[in-house]
Amino acid sequence: MSGHSKWATIKRQKGAADQKRGQTFTKLSIAITLAVRLGGGGEAEQNFRLRLAIEKARLANMPKDNIERAIEKGMGRGAGGEEMQEVVYEGFGPSGIGAIVVEAVTDNRQRTTGEVKNIFDKAGGTFGQPGCVSYQFENKGVITIEKGSMSFDDILLLAADAGADDGEEVGEEVFIYTKPEALNKIREALATKVLVKEAELVRKPTVTQQVTDTQTFDKITALIDKLEMYDDVQKVYTNIVLSDDLASKYE
């Protein structure tokens, strides 16, 4: 995973993942509604998936009323009772560089599949068959910590004592990786000692592909941007890592 979070941080700093506020709230609302339906109800204390979705919404400054409406919709009490389902798409970046996994939520699988395939095609990527790249990723929990006055080694030691698997330092942030089922326990343990900025479930690449030139990075970034801008898409993962020379150009 080393280098992958650095790529994600650079991409964020570069402004490539910027989205309109309304579209971001739409995605967050869908995530909350689905968490209620699939995660065990509308009480965040008993529904860890919902708790993560709400925390992410609050970090984006999503209004409380929007959050409550999304919860109500998930419980079948709001407007629009369409059936939603999670879907996963896989493919490759331009010129076959970079494995890409797309997580989406839709009430019309045929429509979403067509749109995602079209985005891959227009950006020079390749829309793949189920299983073509997902084996290169593993499900993990990730906790983002602001270093503050603490060193990476000190934070990593605290995380290890709490049961975390490993960690990575990127600038002023530390990413701590956990088993999915241990995410909440470890997050709560660390929150009493360090500044936890975010916790979420992710797909962590186990096989990576290095990018060494700006042109290739920009093409892959453009494809991922287009995927992320599509309302039905919740998260996009890639296994690319940047060479040290290329990463230094964006620091």
Interval 128-152: pLDDT, tens: 999 999 999 999 999 999 998 999 9
For residue range 84-134, list pLDDT tens digits in order: 889 999 999 999 999 999 999 988 999 999 999 999 999 999 999 999 999
In a shared domain, residues 162 and 191: yes
For residue range 153-164, list pLDDT tens digits in order: 999 999 999 999
Let me know: does 190 contact 143? Beta carbons within 8 Å: yes
Indicate the number of domains in the chain.
3
In a shared domain, residues 131 and 215: yes
In a shared domain, residues 193 and 220: no
Let me know: does 162 contact 189? Beta carbons within 8 Å: yes
For residue range 163-217, list pLDDT tens digits in order: 999 999 988 899 999 999 999 999 999 999 999 998 999 999 999 999 988 899 9
In a shared domain, residues 160 and 129: no
The larger pLDDT score, comparing residue 249 to residue 19, is at 249
The greatest distance separating any two alpha carbons of the chain, rounded to the nearest whole angstrom, comes to 53
The larger pLDDT score, comparing residue 48 to residue 7, is at 48
Burial class (CB in 10 A: 0-12, 13-18, 19+), 45: exposed
In a shared domain, residues 176 and 64: no
In a domain, 79, yes or no: no
Close Cβ partners of 182 (under 8 Å, ≥ 6 residues apart): 141, 163, 164
Let me know: does 104 contact 232? Beta carbons within 8 Å: yes
Can you give the pTM of this predicted structure? 0.84
Domain extent at residue 49: 4-74
Domain of 144, CATH number, reads: 3.30.70.980
Q: Which of 205, 221, 240 is the last residue of a domain?
A: 205
In this structure, what token pair is assigned to residue 77? 């009490």
